[in-house]
Amino acid sequence: MEASPITKELAVAAPKVLLHEHLDGGVRPSTVLELAEANGYAGLPTYNLAELEKDFVVDSPGADLVQYLQGFAHTTAVMQTVDELKRVACEGVVDLARDGVVYSEIRFAPEQHLTKGLTMHQVVEAVLEGFRQGEVQSLSEGHPIVARAILSAMRQASHSNEVAKVAIDFRDAGVCAFDIAGPEDGFPPTQHLEAFEMIRQANFHLTIHAGEAFGPPSIWEAIQICGTERLGHGIHIFDDIEFKDGEYKLGRLAQYIRDRRIPLEVCPTSNIHTGVAASIKDHPINILRKLNFRVTVNTDNRLMSGIALSDEFFKCSQAFGWTLRDMERLTIDAMKSAFFPYEDRLNIIWNVIKPGYAALKA
């Protein structure tokens, strides 16, 4: 069984770890529609549920990151009150648990949810309460999950210092790290150095969107100047690898990332929808894995990409022949890379992930 390609059923049943998922990119379409109708939001492109589901998925030829981000205007518009945030957060956790995710880090930008008078602290409190409700419901359904939050600052804005302070304030309440997100080209991470330094001086955790829509210079800044521990996407590190006559040569940056075991939060389907790769078969995730980079598999935005984490593994299995053993290895690497206390990571690896895969192999 462990040497066989992964079926859809196995992909769902296997324990999984998700490190890169946006809260406002994983809202149920039905919830978007219901909340829009309840709060009077008139900006949706359609109020037919089936059409809305299709409209959110950015899979048209020539799509890029800018187009991919457009749908967030609609989801954030229905995430502006405490009750809306709690509902979206709870449902997001439940949906992940039903897909077999046992540990998740879900990121969101508090500054995107202030249009109806909430403070950043109130936004974070509401989301964390929704996470707790989702954990309780998932446990009652037989799908235990741990949900943690990463607070993102928008790289094209100027609120990163405030968001970093809020992240530190909630570090013992369910927030596990700080991040910057948004358009990468033209908004280098070095514009937010004060926030990164604040996080590091607090002995807190940091991940940065880098190498998604821009090349190695963005990755180099994120690592060497900003001090990130993980790379959000990081897929353009592939540009620093030279292939010739069946051999490969790592550039100095790629060599450093591999040597230091800096995790790549790779999101295959999202990368296709933003124009990074033409198809799963063309995606460099499998080559990076074979070259022993610390690769993790993620969804990015389940709504905009129309996928679940089980779909990502199933598609990669079809494209690259990944087996259950490969999936287990990738899941353990993701758990090792989580912003979670060391003993708790070990507990999930030894008492949840390994027994789960052992049962499937048997």
Task: Give the C-alpha separation, 176 to 167, whole Å.
Answer: 8
Which is nearest to 21 in space by CA: 152, 170, 200?
152
Task: Give the C-alpha separation, 234 to 35, whole Å.
Answer: 34
CA 90 vs CA 84, 101, 176: distances in Å: 10, 14, 18
Burial of 57 (0-12, 13-18, 19+ CB in 10 A): middle
DSSP 209-277: EESSSS-HHHHHIIIIIT--SEEEE-GGGGGGEEEETTEEEE-HHHHHHHHTTPPEEE-HHHHHHTTS-
In one letter, which amino acid is 266? V
Residue 261's CB is within 10 A of a number of other CB atoms, namely: 12
Contacts of 244 (CB under 8 A, 6+ apart): none
Residue 202's CB is within 10 A of a number of other CB atoms, namely: 14
Query: Residue 271 phi/psi, 5° resolution?
Result: -60, -35
- Cβ-contact 15, 353 below 8 angstroms: yes
Q: What is the DSSP letter of 321?
A: -
- Cβ-contact 124, 178 below 8 angstroms: no
User: Quick one: CA dihedral 125, 128, 132, 138, positive or negative?
Assistant: positive
Sequence-ordered alpha helix ranges (H) in the chain:
8-13, 29-39, 49-56, 65-68, 72-77, 82-98, 120-140, 160-169, 193-201, 216-220, 252-259, 268-273, 285-290, 302-305, 309-320, 324-336, 342-348, 354-361
Catalytic residue list: 212
